[in-house]
């Protein structure tokens, strides 16, 4: 049933998204694409789910990269039902699993990569996730550091625990946050299993060779609003420089880490991105973008849906969500 409904054209979608109003751009935001469902995070998409989503998109949308879409949007030349596919952070499964599926359906995507974790690194949030996944006891007590105490009886408990911990420390200063992350990891002897979590540099180059767009996402994925301005400028510039070194091409687009306007980044950070010569940037604010939108704060949303019908309904709902 999923295979049939995912591969068909949806005339209803074409009807409700055809309009005499200004064109609207929908941008999807992915992170990982797991080979199979991850028990600690079953809401994240796996290869089967990504496959039917890409089938559906290929049959019903005009797919553009962020750079292409932003240029056409600002010129008022965006085709109807335009959609952009984006990935954040630089996980290896983007190259190993997502890329072949994108190529199968002749789709382009934009990959925003935090360069400090390439070639064997691990982002701090995944240290928390893997620590909670591997914690040997059914109770995790972090009250010594005011981070709470958690039941770990089952996968749902472990998912809720890591989500709560990440929420508590996400906006702390980087040094304080890393101290707490290291402290949590120290409770799990021999914590590992994620040496190949992030891409290698050659995988980034392979994405580029396959026609994918590579975008900046800083070096260490800091919350820009929580660090000094000069550090923010360096993060933006040095991340871009490393990607240009890997690909041999100009990096023109950027994604703000975490991406909530007014919380994770501020207007001054949009100015930094613009002044460094990027042509567009994306947030994680839901909704669509129109020709009147700020090209340095284009909207995105994450499609969590587990069926083609729900996925299409979310796309339609987002299409009519004005910001």
b/e per residue 283-318 (b: at least 16 CB within 10 A): bbbebbbbbebebbbbbbbbbebeebeebbebbbeb
Q: Decide if 235 is inside a domain.
A: yes
132 with 244, same domain: the answer is no
Q: How far is it, in rounded angstroms, from Cα 179 to Cα 173?
A: 10
Task: State the pLDDT at residue 15.
Answer: 47
Domain around 162 = 124-185
The model's pLDDT over 243-291, given as tens digits with 9 standing for 90+, comes to 999 999 999 999 999 999 999 999 999 999 999 999 999 999 998 999 9
Asked if residue 116 and residue 10 are part of one domain, the reply reads yes
Residue 140 reports pLDDT greater than 90 = yes
> Are 297 and 155 found together in one domain?
no
Instruction: State the Cα torsion 220-301-17-19 to the nearest 10°.
Output: -60
The answer to the question of residue 190 being in a domain is: no
Query: Which pLDDT band holds residue 8 (cuts at 50, 70, 90)?
Result: low
**Average pLDDT score over residue span 74-83:** 91
Q: Do residues 150 and 46 both lie within one domain? A: no
- What's the pLDDT tens digit per position in 32-74? 999 999 999 998 999 999 999 999 999 989 999 999 999 999 9
237 and 95 belong to one structural domain:
yes
Same domain, 202 and 291: yes
Is the model's pLDDT at 19 over the cut of 70? no
Among 164, 185, 206, residue at a domain's last position: 185
The CATH number of the domain holding residue 306 is 3.20.20.370
Examine the domain organization and report whether 175 and 224 are in the same domain: no
Q: How far apart are CA 41 and CA 20, in angstroms?
A: 41
Residues 280 and 206 in one domain: yes
Q: Please tell me what DSSP assigns to residue 88.
A: E
Statement to judge: residues 232 and 310 lie in one domain = yes
**CA–CA separation, 306 vs 56, rounded Å?**
13
């Amino acid at each position: 049933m999923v295979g049939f409904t995912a591969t068909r054209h949806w005339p209803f979608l074409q009807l409700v998204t055809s309009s005499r109003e200004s064109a609207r751009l929908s941008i999807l935001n992915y992170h990982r694409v797991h080979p199979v469902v991850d028990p600690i995070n079953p809401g994240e998409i796996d290869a089967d789910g990504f496959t039917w989503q890409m089938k559906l998109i290929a049959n019903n949308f005009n797919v553009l990269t962020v750079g292409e879409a932003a240029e056409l949007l600002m010129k008022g030349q965006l085709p109807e039902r335009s959609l952009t596919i984006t990935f954040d952070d630089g996980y290896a499964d983007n190259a190993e699993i997502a890329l072949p599926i994108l190529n199968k359906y002749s789709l382009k995507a934009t990959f925003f990569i935090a360069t400090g974790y390439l070639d064997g690194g691990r982002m701090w949030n995944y240290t928390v996730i893997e620590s909670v996944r591997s914690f040997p006891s059914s109770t995790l007590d972090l009250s010594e550091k005011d981070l709470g105490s958690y039941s770990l009886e089952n996968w749902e408990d472990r998912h809720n625990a890591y989500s709560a911990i990440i929420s508590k420390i996400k906006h702390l200063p980087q040094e304080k946050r890393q101290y707490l992350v290291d402290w949590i990891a120290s409770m799990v002897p021999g914590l590992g299993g994620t040496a190949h979590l992030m891409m290698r540099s050659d995988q980034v180059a392979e994405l580029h060779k396959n026609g994918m767009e590579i975008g900046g996402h800083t070096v260490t994925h800091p919350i820009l609003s929580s660090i000094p301005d000069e550090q923010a400028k360096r993060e933006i510039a040095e991340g871009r420089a490393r990607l240009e070194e890997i690909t041999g091409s100009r990096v023109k687009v950027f994604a703000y880490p975490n991406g909530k306007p007014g919380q994770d980044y501020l207007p001054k950070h949009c100015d930094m991105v613009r002044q460094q010569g990027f042509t567009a940037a994306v947030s994680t604010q839901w909704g669509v973008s129109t020709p009147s939108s700020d090209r340095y704060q284009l909207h995105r949303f994450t499609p969590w849906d587990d069926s083609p019908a729900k996925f299409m309904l979310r796309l339609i709902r987002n299409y009519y969500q004005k910001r």
